[in-house]
Amino acid sequence: MATHPQIRRPGRSDLARARRRAGLLFALPAIALVLAITVIPLAQAIYYSFTDWNGATARWVGLRNYVNMLRDPELKQAMINSCLILLSIPLGMIPAFVTAYLLSRGPLLSGLMRTLIFAPTALSWIVIGIVARQTFANEGPLNGLLSAIGLDVLAMNWLARPSTALIALLFTFNAAVFGVNTVIFLTALSTVDRSTIEAARIDGASETRILVSIILPAVRRFVEFVFIITMVASATGIFGLIYVMTAGGPGSATMTLEFAVWRRALSTGAFGPGAAIGISLMLLVLLVIAIVRRLARVEADA
Amino acid sequence: MERKIVSIAATSVLALICGSGSAMAQDTVLTLWHNGSCPTENCLVRSLAEGFVAANPGITIDIVEQPNDAYFTALLAASVTGSGPDLATMWAGGYITPYKPYLEDLRTYVAAGDIASSIGTSYYAEGGDKTDILYAVPTENQWYNGYYNKAILAANGITPPRTWDELTAACATLKTAGILPIINGPSTSEAQFQPLFEFAYLATALPIDQWNGLYDGTLAYSNPALLSQLERWNALYAAGCINEDAFNHPDTQAEFAAGGAAMYFSSGSWTIPDLTAAMGDDLGIMIPPFSDTPMQNIISLAGGGLVMMNYSDQKDAAGAFLAYVLSDAGQSLMAGITAPTRAGFPTTNPLINELVAMSTAPDWQGYPMFDNFSQPPVTDAIVRNMALVLVGEVSPADALAAADAAFASMPDDQKNVNYGLNAN
């Protein structure tokens, strides 16, 4: 009866074990850093979100902070505002894509245009907020322009009215991310196979057909990427913009969940409820990312 | 020989260490956080610091100016992490509550007699009892008050109004003359104006003992008196007595100082130095006339205080400064600038003296600053909604309901307060 030689699995060799150990040792500082600045604070936040922590003492209150979020009119408004900003992102991506598409077809002055479009990306949200507040002021340049072209009826104190302050914020946010999104789309368009496009043109396909059937599918992953990074920025990165531009007002008209974390935790000393809002915001962002990835995967499979 | 060299060297090193140690003990630097700007030429705390430092060589005080609108959040965050300053400016009442776990009891450092003789220390003592824990020393008496331009009113034959009706009449006269009657808006770079000053005077329609009811929930904010007051306040705006962009008009104080309006209500006594410098003798003090009968209510408090953080490692030096603030020397220095909190140190500022006179007049009723005693969620609701009431974006009823809702949302321990406010 023949016997099979014992096959040694490579991972069990001394060399492989030594390599794994060395790799782990080299990775330990990075792991420790990630644990210290991400995992441990996250675990603490999750714990404190179930307490009435005021910065000094913490008493377990169970789900009270999360339940109160659903009852608090201000937090409900913050959730609605966060969702509205989220819904505005696809609309804000369209001008960026169109601009990138036009730039990709016109070599003339494209370098200068790219610089001009991307330059505002270097500005901080604080600066953008200050400029926006001046722009939308009652005697600001926007109202001046509207009056100059005979649209006085549209001139108003944009940031003093709950109905228009959020619109001003949405516009400012999408205008601020226009530059970086355009550059990403330009990069995306440069990856599209030109020979496929030329072949389609030879076959008589219209530019619209080429855009819809060839270019858009080819840059699908970039569209997904732009949406995700813009969504993350809107959810967690525009506190400075809101603080300077409207301070979450008028009333709660421009308060987002991110801003509500600051207002509850630091403005009133309610760190426990603030942690609950923060955890909820994190879960919302992860949910949206999961949905987007799922939709992208379904489309790819199709 | 070798042993001699070693012993000489050791002695030298020892002398060096002792010498440098004593030098380090003399070079004490205290860090003091100040809410808002503290310019060299016009800042009470800076003047007090300079007076103390001159009398205490070897100690310096580094004043760090923090943005006013984020000051309390920054101080709380720094206190939680123990990375805050040695000293900090503070406000009384509800503002100080979150910081109590981080504040040093100042009775160890400040003379008992000075604590007892200061009218402001009760606002910074536990339960209002000057013999109990003292969390801060008051720096000055402050008032919520309005201002008027004497030249503008005189030129139009108007005396400072003291009732709603007089205010409405003055407004009509000034509008006819093409003058903005009342200017409103943020005084700094904030996104909206601060309605707390005017709301406090609107709330003096309630007797002072009923303010206890607002604070402990036995009287709803949605009551007829407050509702009526807010409606009349909004009516001023609707009648064009206040600038259209009152919610967020920039540089309001500067524009008033430049003669851009006749009256300015959203302010307090802390702006007297700046306005006096800009307007000179044209600056007049008035109380917002939100009353059917001649207004004789005045809002004042030990406006600012100084605290020592209990995580400071320079408590002796910090305590010495705080003791100086309430000492005769500190109070005398303060009297040359503003109103001290200890009696016996009259101020030289005529406008402050007007406020002191009103506060001490037997037929005037003193009220504290409303937001110093309202709970933070309620204060937040008032700030967010009352500004919108003025410009007609939120109804008075809805704004008051929001304040009630904010009160109801608090845990019981925040609701159960008893400040014992009573009439003079």
pLDDT in tens, B358-396: 988 889 998 989 998 898 889 989 999 999 999 999 999
pLDDT the model gives residue A66: 92
Q: Is residue A174 within 8 Å of A89, Cβ to Cβ?
A: yes
Q: Is B2-141+301-358's fold the same as B144-300+365-415's?
A: yes
Residue A25 lies in a domain: no
- The parent domain of residue A201 ranges over 73-255
Residue A279 has pLDDT above 90, yes or no: yes
User: What pLDDT digit, counting tens, does each position of A6-53 carry?
Assistant: 555 555 688 999 999 999 999 999 999 999 999 999 999 999 999 988
Question: Do B394 and B388 meet the contact criterion of CB atoms below 8 Å apart?
Answer: yes
Give the count of Cβ contacts less than 8 A between chain A and B.
84
Nearest to B253 by CA among B233, B278, B234, B236: B278
Tell me the nearest-neighbour CA distance from B175 into chain A, angstroms: 20
pLDDT of residue B273: 86
Most confident option among A1-10, A118-127, A284-293:
A284-293
CATH number for A161: 1.10.3720.10
Residue A242: which of A161, A177, A159, A139 has the closest Cα? Answer: A159
Which residues 274-293 of B are in CB contact (within 8 Å) with A?
A: none
Mean pLDDT of chain A: 88
Measured CA to CA, the distance from residue B306 to residue B209 in angstroms comes to: 28
Measure CB to CB from residue A252 to each of B72, B384, B391 and give the nearest one: B384
Extract the tokens encoding B62. 């580094």
Contact A251 B391 (CB under 8 A): no
pLDDT attached to residue B244: 94
Taking the Cβ of residue B376 and every Cβ of chain A, the question of whether any pair is shorter than 8 Å is answered with: yes
Number of domains in chain A: 1
The tokens of A159 are what? 């940031």
Q: How confident is the model at residue B20 (pLDDT cuts 50, 70, 90)?
A: very low
Report the amino acid identity of residue B196. Answer: L
Before A250, cis peptide (omega within 30)? yes
Whole-angstrom distance, CA of residue B335 vs CA of residue B328: 10
Asked whether the predicted pLDDT for residue B146 surpasses 80, the reply is yes
Check CB contact of A139 with chain B, cutoff 8 Å. Answer: yes
Least confident range from A115-119, A283-287, B22-26: namely B22-26
Most confidently modeled range among A195-204, B143-152, B301-310? B143-152
A267 CB within 8 Å of a chain B CB? yes
Chain B residue closest in CA terms to A157: B245
CB contact under 8 A, A251 and B388: yes
C-beta atoms of A250 and B387 within 8 A = yes
The beta-carbon neighbor of A56 closest among B101, B190, B391 is B101
The chain B residue lying nearest A164, using CA atoms, is: B393
Of residues A81 and A113, more confidence is placed in A81
Residue B24 pLDDT class (50, 70, 90 cuts) = very low
Does residue A251 fall inside a structural domain? yes
Where do the H-state alpha helices sit in B280-409? Answer: 315-326, 328-335, 350-360, 376-390, 396-408
Q: Which two tokens stand for residue B294?
A: 């001649």
* Closest chain A CA to residue B380: A268
Contact B84, B78 (CB under 8 A): yes
Q: Is A147 in the B-facing interface, judged by CB distances under 8 Å?
A: no
Q: A124 touching B, CB under 8 A?
A: no
How far apart are the CA of A134 and the nearest CA of chain B, in angstroms?
Answer: 9
Residue A112 lies in a domain: yes
Average pLDDT over all residues of chain B? 90
Of B240, B109, B117, give the one whose Cα is nearest residue B168: B240
CB B407 within 8 A of CB B415: yes
Q: Is residue B406 predicted with pLDDT exceeding 60?
A: yes
In 3D space, the residue among A204, A241, A283 whose CA is nearest the CA of residue A42 turns out to be A283
pLDDT in tens, A112-161: 777 778 877 888 999 999 999 999 999 899 999 999 999 999 999 999 99
Residue B116 phi, psi (nearest 5):
-65, -35
Mean pLDDT of B147-163: 97
Q: With a cut of 0.95, is the ipTM above it?
A: no
The whole-number pLDDT of residue A108 equals 54
Q: What do you get for the CA distance between the two ends of chain B, in Å?
A: 85
d(CA A270, CA B414): 12
**Poorest-pLDDT segment among A206-210, B11-15, B29-33:** B11-15
Bigger pLDDT: B4 or B34? B34
Residue A293 counted as domain residue? no
How do the residues of chain B divide into helix, strand and coil, expressed in percent and rounded to 5? Answer: 50, 15, 35
Question: What number does CATH give the domain B2-141+301-358?
Answer: 3.40.190.10
Portion of chain B with pLDDT greater than 70, in percent? 94
| Alpha carbon of B108: minimum distance to chain A alpha carbons (Å) | 23
3-state DSSP percent of chain A in helix, strand and coil, to 5: 75, 0, 20
Q: Please, which pLDDT band fits residue B21 given cuts at 50, 70 and 90?
A: very low
What mean pLDDT is predicted for residues A189-214? Answer: 90
A79: pLDDT strictly greater than 80: yes
**Residue B216 in contact with residue B416, Cβ under 8 Å?**
yes
- Cα angle at A282 between A280 and A288, to 5 degrees? 100
Spatial contact of B200 and B143, defined as CB atoms under 8 Å apart: no
- pLDDT for position B22: 44
Rounded to a whole number of angstroms, the distance from the CA of A250 to the nearest CA of chain B is 7
Q: Which CATH superfamily is domain B144-300+365-415 in?
A: Periplasmic binding protein-like II (3.40.190.10)
What confidence tens digit (pLDDT) does each residue in B54-110 have? Answer: 999 999 999 999 988 788 888 988 998 899 999 999 998 778 888 999 999 999 999
Looking at residue B344, its pLDDT comes to 83
Looking at the complex, does the CB of residue B192 fall below 8 Å from at least one CB of chain A?
yes
Q: Which two tokens stand for residue A81?
A: 């505002």
Percent of chain B exceeding pLDDT 90 equals 66
pLDDT at B174 over 60: yes
Touching check for B73 and chain A: CB below 8 Å?
yes
Q: Tell me: pLDDT of A106 over 80.
A: no
Q: CB of B42 within 8 Å of any CB in chain A? A: no
**A153 close contact with B: CB closer than 8 A:** no
Whether the CA torsion B231, B236, B238, B244 is positive or negative: it is negative
